[in-house]
């Protein structure tokens, strides 16, 4: 099974989740997408309890992007219409905070970059 996030990304996602009691609006750490569909995930945190539940902006390509959780193990098992697995955008560098990505996604009906 292909790894969706690197060890470095995992460490950053866990660090973001451990910032308890702080008002946090982090930059997304990783962008995952379906190469043969229109789904995208911008993830900012990873639950330290299970190491599998990630939080971020989820866009399933239906025009209704939303903040929520997703299990990395479930994403790893998903295949698109052409049977292609979810991939990590190797060139993604967050340009804005999660709340700003969310604001723009609501306006546009999808994650725009």
What is the pLDDT, as a whole number, of residue 92?
96
**8-state DSSP, 101:** H
pLDDT digits (tens, 9 = 90+) for 85-102: 999 999 999 999 999 999
Q: What is the mean pLDDT of residues 18-47?
A: 88
| pTM > 0.75: yes or no | yes
- Backbone φ, ψ for residue 3 (5° rounding): -80, 130
Q: Is the pLDDT of residue 21 over 70?
A: no
What is the pLDDT, as a whole number, of residue 5?
95
> How far from the centroid of its chain's Cα atoms is residue 38's Cα?
14
């Amino acid at each position: 099974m292909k790894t969706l996030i690197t060890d470095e990304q995992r460490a950053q996602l866990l660090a973001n989740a451990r910032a308890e009691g702080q008002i946090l609006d982090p930059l997304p750490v990783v962008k995952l997408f379906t190469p043969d569909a229109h789904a995208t995930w911008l993830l900012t945190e990873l639950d330290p309890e299970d190491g599998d539940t990630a939080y971020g902006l989820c866009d399933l390509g239906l025009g209704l992007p939303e903040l929520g959780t997703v299990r990395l193990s479930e994403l790893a098992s998903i295949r698109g219409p052409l049977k292609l697995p979810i991939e990590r955008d190797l060139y993604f560098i967050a340009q804005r905070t999660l709340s700003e990505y969310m604001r723009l996604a609501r306006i546009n009906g999808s994650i725009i970059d």
